[in-house]
């Protein structure tokens, strides 16, 4: 029976890894799980990077040093609220490519990268049969959610991906999560808030929960999601109660979307996820402690859980109450188990969300709180109840202070450390020039697609052109009491409009139209558009078709002699 802790190595610094892994182990984890992030490891085609936060081998070896197993989710599509779902942007520039379908250019690149990772793990002797920690690995990711979008080509691709992975001869099982039609040799697994009712597509496969969502990610401007510790514990206890083998917390440590790795649109820098270990590597109580106690209770039941021959014994205890009894022999549930010599463990569940229930089993009465599971490792004594939270609560505060090195230009924030001391964080502001500048600017005719210019090296792309306004135009607007408007058919994610260096207005949205009144003066005017990306789309079908920036026509309306189409004007471009 395995408990797994989700930790994404690039969402922490290497200096944090040993402490985080140790906290996972102390909390009762047997396994560490992570995605592999393609765009971090192959930023340019054929050029690989496995250093600093992307030193995957170092991370796996640190896990091994703690005596833990490893679940390696290669994908290489990750989703993970990660920029472009983990795909490198150069991939979309390959002629004729379509992602995640029966497309030869895509399959060739995917196979090359997956093979690269597998060969690296073999070379470093990290698979379990080599003495390493890796016991499971994943190919693709939640493809069953979108497979139907691709029709028969999607079905063929899924089968190809499975056979390609099996052909790499890794010597350990492959999983496909949320893939109900996974082939017989591939383990299909569950991703959800609750997976106790999940059944794999074959009786020959164990029941695995690859993503137990113990929190959720935060969007810009939205609330910080929170999942109570007792509900997480209830979901996990129910999973093992109903035959689960391996459960993985997504996330056990969420961490940080460093640099520009946050997915989109509008996911934020923090990937804290309300996880048992918070973004800064500190324990989140009571969640961490409550789940640790749960894991201890489950481990006490392990001899009975693995000894049962076939299904556990099921006992109906009430309209919304039930027991699952695991033993190496026949159990008479109407009498005490004391002294009968059997290995026996039981889970008593009350799935009523509002009412307490008193149930009778093993010759005695048990009081079950609403929405709870009581765990009886010896079929007699309650070692743990998911609704009884005994762990302390931790509170993190941010307090202002005035360290000696601060100044009015550099306000400082004092952050409390776990040992009662404080460490400081210094902030400053800067003002940037509006418009185009620098040696990398260039001019060309027409509106270029944002990603085709920046190749995702920057979230910012400036478009500047000149607009000549006659005295007739100015007189027309004055007489009518109106302003001309700039219209763009579609923008993504943020567009800002500047006229002669002054901000005229903004628009935010995913491929929405923009119509912005603009104030021109007689003569030559500088019109500048700023395209901002807030994370490339990380989920869904046809990701390669999404892109960023502006699409369609760009024109000025409301002129006395008709609209001016600026789409094919000469524009100066600058990124950064």
Six token digits for residue 36: 């592999």
State the Cα–Cα distance between residues 161 and 259, nearest whole angstrom.
31
Catalytic residue (choose from 42, 142, 322, 544):
142
State the Cα–Cα distance between residues 449 and 294, nearest whole angstrom.
52
Find the helix packing angle between 17-26 and 56-65, rounded to 10°: 40
The residues facing 348 across adjacent strands are 323, 374
State the Cα–Cα distance between residues 370 and 352, nearest whole angstrom.
5
Six token digits for residue 280: 């800064």
Q: Give the DSSP H/E element, type plus range, for residue 151.
A: helix 151-166
What DSSP string runs through 1-52?
-EEEEEE-GGGS-TTTHHHHHHHHHHTT-SEEEEE--HHHH-SBTTB---SG
Contact, 147 vs 162, CB < 8 A? no
- Mark whether 211 is an active-site residue: yes
| E-assigned strand segments in 342-454 | 344-350, 357-361, 364-368, 372-376, 384-385, 399-400, 412-416, 422-426, 442-445
- What separation, in Å, do the N-terminal and C-terminal C-alpha atoms of the chain show? 50
State the Cα–Cα distance between residues 240 and 514, nearest whole angstrom.
52
- Mark whether 449 is an active-site residue: no
Length of the chain equals 576
* Pairing of the two strands 460-469 and 523-532: antiparallel
Contact, 486 vs 518, CB < 8 A? yes
Contact, 492 vs 514, CB < 8 A? no
State the Cα–Cα distance between residues 137 and 70, nearest whole angstrom.
8
Six token digits for residue 21: 């892994």
Q: How many CB atoms within 10 Å of residue 320?
A: 15
φ, ψ of residue 88 to 5 degrees: the values are -70, 140
Q: Which among 43, 37, 36, 40 has a CA at the least distance from the CA of 90?
A: 43
φ, ψ of residue 508 to 5 degrees: the values are -130, 135
Contact, 533 vs 263, CB < 8 A? no
Peptide bond into 493 cis (omega under 30): yes
Catalytic residue (choose from 33, 81, 98, 211):
211
State the Cα–Cα distance between residues 545 and 380, nearest whole angstrom.
59
Quickly tell me which residue has 């060309």 as its tokens: 444
Six token digits for residue 343: 């290995």
Six token digits for residue 373: 């599971």
Q: Would you name the residues annotated as active-site residues?
A: 142, 211
């Amino acid at each position: 029976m395995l408990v797994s802790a989700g930790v994404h190595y690039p969402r922490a610094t290497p200096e944090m890894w040993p402490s985080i892994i140790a906290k996972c182990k102390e909390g009762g984890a047997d396994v560490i799980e992570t995605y592999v992030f393609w765009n971090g490891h192959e930023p340019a085609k054929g050029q690989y990077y496995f250093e600093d936060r992307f030193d995957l081998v170092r991370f796996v070896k640190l896990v091994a040093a703690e005596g833990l197993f490893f679940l390696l989710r290669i994908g290489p599509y990750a989703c993970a609220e990660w920029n472009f779902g983990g795909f490198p942007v150069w991939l979309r520039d390959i002629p004729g490519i379509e992602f995640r379908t029966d497309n030869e250019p895509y399959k060739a690149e995917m196979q090359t990268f997956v093979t690269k990772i597998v060969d690296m793990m073999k070379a470093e002797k990290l698979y379990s049969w080599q003495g390493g920690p890796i016991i499971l690995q994943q190919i693709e990711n939640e493809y069953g959610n979108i497979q139907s979008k691709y029709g028969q080509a999607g079905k063929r691709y899924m089968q190809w991906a499975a056979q390609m992975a099996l052909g790499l001869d890794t010597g350990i099982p492959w999983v496909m999560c949320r893939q109900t039609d996974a082939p017989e040799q591939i383990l299909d697994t569950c991703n959800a808030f609750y997976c106790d009712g999940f059944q794999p597509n074959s009786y020959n496969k164990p029941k695995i929960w690859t993503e137990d969502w113990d929190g959720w990610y935060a969007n810009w401007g939205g609330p910080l999601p929170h999942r109570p510790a007792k509900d997480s514990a209830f979901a996990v206890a129910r999973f093992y109660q109903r035959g689960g083998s391996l459960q993985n917390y997504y996330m056990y440590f969420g961490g940080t979307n460093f640099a520009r790795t946050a997915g989109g649109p509008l996911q934020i820098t923090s990937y804290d996820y309300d996880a048992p270990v918070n973004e800064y590597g500190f324990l989140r109580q009571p969640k961490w402690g409550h789940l640790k106690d749960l894991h201890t209770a489950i481990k006490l039941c392990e001899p009975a859980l693995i000894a049962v021959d076939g299904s556990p014994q099921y006992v109906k205890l009430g309209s919304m109450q039930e027991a699952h009894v695991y033993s190496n022999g026949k159990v008479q549930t109407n009498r005490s188990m004391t002294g009968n010599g059997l290995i026996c463990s039981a889970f008593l569940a009350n799935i009523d969300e509002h009412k307490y229930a008193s149930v009778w089993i093993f010759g005695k009465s048990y009081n079950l709180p609403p929405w709870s599971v009581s765990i009886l490792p010896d079929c007699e004594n309650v070692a743990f109840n998911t609704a009884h939270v005994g762990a302390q609560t931790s509170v993190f505060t941010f307090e202002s202070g005035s360290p000696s090195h601060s100044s009015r230009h550099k306000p400082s924030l004092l952050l409390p450390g776990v040992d009662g001391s404080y460490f400081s964080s210094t902030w400053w502001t800067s003002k940037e020039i509006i418009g185009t500048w620098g040696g990398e600017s260039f001019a060309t005719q027409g509106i270029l697609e944002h990603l085709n210019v920046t190749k995702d090296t920057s979230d910012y792309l400036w478009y500047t052109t000149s607009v000549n306004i006659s005295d007739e135009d100015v007189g027309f607007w004055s007489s009518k009491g109106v302003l001309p408007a700039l219209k763009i058919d579609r923008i993504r994610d943020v567009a800002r409009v500047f006229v002669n260096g002054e901000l005229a207005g903004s628009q935010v949205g995913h491929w929405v139209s923009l119509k912005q009144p603009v104030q021109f003066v007689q003569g030559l005017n500088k019109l500048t558009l700023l395209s901002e990306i807030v994370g490339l789309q990380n989920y869904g079908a046809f990701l390669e078709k999404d892109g960023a920036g502006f699409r369609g026509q760009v024109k000025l309306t409301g002129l006395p002699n008709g609209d001016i189409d600026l789409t094919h004007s000469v524009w100066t471009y600058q990124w950064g």
